[in-house]
């Protein structure tokens, strides 16, 4: 008779064998090429991360692009620009389309290249030779020309800020042939050729007048991007005027600059800036990331008045009003392991963000605690961080609770740890959310099934919570997961506010069988 212990019947459904390794060397499940590319596009900034260099990321993305159908590639590029608000990665995917999906390039282009910065990114990547060509070619050149010939004066001026390539470089490359006299004069002005100043569009004409005589007919400063004015020996009053004229996003990003130039020392300016930052209408129109407000707060120097820093907290609370609730009891598990110390958008010489992966994980956990006060928060590394180390109050601000969670950062990574804790305590829940860099390596399944320990623990949890759902939210670029996609498991990537909408929809059973890829496939390309 066969060995009963060796061949005893398994309880529950048969778990899939983990047949890959993650970047930390732990066993994992590989994503499909489409899912992996979407993961990289939604989280990758082509900068070095804790586990992978920028060069390794680029090589991986290019390999994935060769395996993905051009139509899906185009939809991923559009999705990650329109809903993930990414920059470099959508531009890279668009450049790849110019080589392997030419028919879809004109359809995706207008939705990816939605401002001058994206235009310059696209041209830079094409000219680098990374995607297999160093010239723009006929179709990309025509698309760039069309953008230049249809952009507003304000859009062109915004595009003129920046180099490598500059907008002037782009104009020299593609030789646009404008129909309007103002656009012809503008391009001549931009590239340093003779032009008729009277033919310049109004803002550019005012800028030239201001440079020449220190004033313009309209009074005050010309409404050009403030970077174009910084070489003109501006006074403190001029900087205050820039703060008054600036958009919500521009003001948020330049608080330290205003402080250095003494803007907040002028009567009423601190209140004016605080009022602008906390204005509900401005916040909703700005499409601000929650983490961008966290970054602005973390980056604020001591020279910025308390009133302004508190306005950033108020803005974050307002920005999170649109976070949709989930159905039922929720458990949020932010990864606070050592690798989560790495910057959220990767290491970038001279421009590395102060916001770490752990800050984003903590922000998401604190957000749900604020929205649904019965939410259970289980920070974890190699094991769950017990409540005596992190005490959270649902009445505290999101930033306060996020800071408490982030302060616990350190240790190895075991994504199964919170599920083990829930099983040991016999806690019931309807939705479990893991927020991690997904590089679990601290636990090996020794039960012989070949599945990851995360998958095994989830199956145990399901025995007592049969309708429960698991969401694995990954905030770093990689191509594997600890929990294989199925009807009750959703793998998504990114840290825009869109992820909250996806989590809510999944909790209510509103997503189709393909889950995240199904949402991406819904993208409609321009005709």
**Which of 370 and 167 is assigned the larger pLDDT?**
167
Domain shared by 191 and 333, yes or no: no
Residue ending a domain, among 158, 191, 224, is 224
User: Given this model, what pLDDT does residue 169 score?
Assistant: 97
Q: What is the DSSP string of 336-400?
A: -SGGGGSBTT-B-TT---S-BHHHHHHHHHHHHHHHSTT-EE--BSSSB--TTT----TTS-HHH
Q: Do 337 and 452 belong to one domain?
A: yes
Query: 117 lies in which domain range?
Result: 86-224
Number of domains comprising the chain: 2
Encoded tokens for 10: 């398994």
Rounded Cα distance between 313 and 357, Å, is 19
* 349 and 493 both lie in a single domain: yes
Residue 12: what pLDDT?
A: 47
Whether 275 is in a domain gets the answer no
pLDDT tops 50 at residue 526? yes
Q: Are both 389 and 500 inside the same structural domain?
A: yes
Would residue 81 count as lying in a domain? no
CATH number of 489's domain: 3.40.50.410
Provide mean pLDDT across the span 505-523: 89
Final residue of a domain: which of 224, 257, 286? 224
> Which pLDDT does position 418 carry in this prediction?
97
Whole-angstrom distance, CA of residue 166 vs CA of residue 191: 10
Q: What is the CA radius of gyration of the chain?
A: 26
Do 350 and 218 share a domain, yes or no?
Answer: no
281-323 tens-digit pLDDT:
988 888 777 878 888 999 999 999 999 999 999 999 888 877 8
Relative orientation angle of helices 269-277 and 306-319, to the nearest 10 degrees: 10
- 352 and 499, same domain (yes or no): yes
Which of these three, 224, 243, 260, is where a domain ends? 224
The pLDDT of residue 13 is 60
Higher pLDDT, 513 or 268: 268
Give yes or no: residues 502 and 376 share one domain.
Answer: yes
pLDDT (tens digit, 9 = 90+) per residue, 438-453? Answer: 888 876 554 545 899 9
Q: Based on the fold, state whether residues 497 and 387 are members of the same structural domain.
A: yes
Establish if 333 belongs to a structural domain.
yes
Place of tokens 């429960």: 468
How far is Cα 331 from Cα 342, in angstroms, rounded to an integer?
Answer: 24
pLDDT tens by residue, 395-408: 888 889 888 988 88
Instruction: List, for residues 102-149, the tens digit of each pLDDT value.
Output: 999 999 999 999 999 999 999 999 999 999 988 898 999 999 999 999
| CA distance linking residue 103 with residue 175, whole number of Å | 23
Using an 8 Å Cβ cutoff, are 294 and 402 in contact? Answer: yes
Residues 368 and 498 in one domain: yes
Q: Is residue 380 part of a domain?
A: yes
Q: Is the pLDDT of residue 375 over 70?
A: yes
| 48 found inside a domain | no
Whole-angstrom distance, CA of residue 93 vs CA of residue 88? 9
Q: Which pLDDT score is estimated for 438?
A: 87
pLDDT single digits (tens) 143-199: 999 999 999 999 999 999 999 899 999 999 999 999 999 999 999 999 999 999 999
Total length of the chain: 527
Nearest-5° Cα angle at 252, 246 to 257:
80
CB atoms within 10 A of CB 492: 22
The answer on 345 and 220 residing in a single domain is no
Say if 159 falls within a structural domain.
yes
Average pLDDT over residues 49-70: 89
Contact 162, 120 (CB under 8 A): yes
**Residue 71 domain-assigned (yes or no):** no
With residue 452 as reference, give the H or E element that holds it: none
Composition of the chain by helix, strand, coil, percent to 5: 50, 10, 45
- Using one digit for the tens of pLDDT, what is the confidence trace for 205-216? 999 998 888 777
Average pLDDT, the chain: 90
Percent of the chain with pLDDT over 90: 65
Which residue would you say has higher pLDDT here, 335 or 387?
Answer: 335
Q: Which is nearest to 361 in space by CA: 308, 402, 315?
A: 402
Higher pLDDT, 387 or 248: 248
Residue 388's pLDDT is what? 66
In a domain, 199, yes or no: yes
What pLDDT band is residue 1 in, cutting at 50, 70 and 90?
very low
């Amino acid at each position: 008779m066969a060995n009963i212990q060796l061949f005893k019947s398994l309880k529950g459904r048969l778990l899939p064998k983990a047949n890959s390794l993650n970047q930390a060397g732990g066993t994992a499940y590989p994503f499909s090429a489409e899912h992996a590319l979407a993961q990289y596009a939604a989280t990758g900034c082509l900068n070095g991360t804790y586990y992978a260099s920028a060069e390794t990321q680029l090589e991986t993305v290019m390999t994935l692009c060769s395996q993905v159908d051009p139509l899906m590639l185009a939809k991923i590029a559009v999705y990650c620009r329109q809903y993930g608000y990414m920059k470099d990665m959508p531009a890279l995917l668009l450049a790849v389309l110019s080589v392997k999906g030419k028919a879809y390039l004109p359809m995706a282009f207008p939705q990816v290249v939605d401002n001058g910065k994206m235009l310059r990114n696209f041209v830079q990547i094409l000219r680098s030779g990374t995607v297999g060509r160093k010239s723009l070619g006929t179709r990309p050149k025509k698309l760039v020309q069309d953008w230049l010939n249809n952009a507003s004066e304000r859009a062109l001026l915004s595009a003129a800020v920046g180099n490598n390539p500059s907008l002037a470089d782009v104009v020299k490359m593609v030789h646009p042939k404008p129909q309007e006299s103002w656009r012809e004069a503008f391009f001549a002005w931009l590239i340093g050729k003779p032009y008729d100043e009277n033919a310049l569009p109004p803002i550019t004409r005012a800028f030239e007048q201001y440079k020449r005589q220190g004033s313009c007919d309209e009074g005050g400063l010309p409404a050009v991007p403030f970077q174009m004015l910084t070489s003109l020996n501006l006074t403190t009053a001029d900087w205050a005027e820039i703060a008054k004229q600036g958009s919500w996003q521009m003001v948020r990003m330049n608080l330290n600059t205003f402080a250095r130039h003494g803007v907040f020392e002028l009567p009423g300016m601190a209140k004016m800036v605080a009022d602008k930052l906390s204005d509900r209408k401005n916040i909703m129109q700005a499409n601000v990331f929650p983490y961008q407000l966290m970054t602005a707060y973390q980056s604020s120097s001591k020279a910025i008045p308390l009133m302004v820093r508190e306005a950033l907290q108020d803005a974050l609370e307002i920005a999170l009003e649109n976070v949709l609730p989930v159905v039922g009891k929720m458990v949020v598990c932010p990864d606070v392991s050592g690798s989560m110390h790495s910057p959220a958008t990767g290491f970038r010489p001279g421009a590395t963000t102060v916001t770490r992966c752990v800050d984003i994980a903590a922000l998401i956990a604190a957000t749900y605690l604020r929205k649904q006060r019965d939410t259970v928060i289980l920070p974890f590394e190699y094991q769950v961080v017990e409540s005596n180390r992190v005490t959270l109050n649902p009445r505290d601000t999101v930033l306060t609770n996020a800071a408490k969670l982030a302060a616990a950062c350190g240790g190895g990574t075991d994504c199964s740890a919170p599920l083990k804790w829930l099983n040991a305590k016999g806690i019931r829940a309807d939705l479990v959310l893991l927020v991690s860099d997904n590089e679990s390596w601290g636990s090996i399944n020794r039960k012989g099934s070949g599945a990851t320990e995360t998958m095994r623990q989830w199956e145990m949890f399901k025995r007592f919570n049969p309708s429960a759902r698991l969401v694995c939210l990954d905030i770093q670029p990689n191509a594997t997961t600890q929990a294989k996609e199925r009807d009750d498991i959703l793998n998504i990537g990114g840290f825009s506010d869109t992820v909250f909408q996806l989590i809510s929809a999944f909790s209510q059973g509103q997503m189709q069988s393909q889950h995240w890829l199904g949402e991406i496939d819904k993208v409609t390309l321009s005709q």
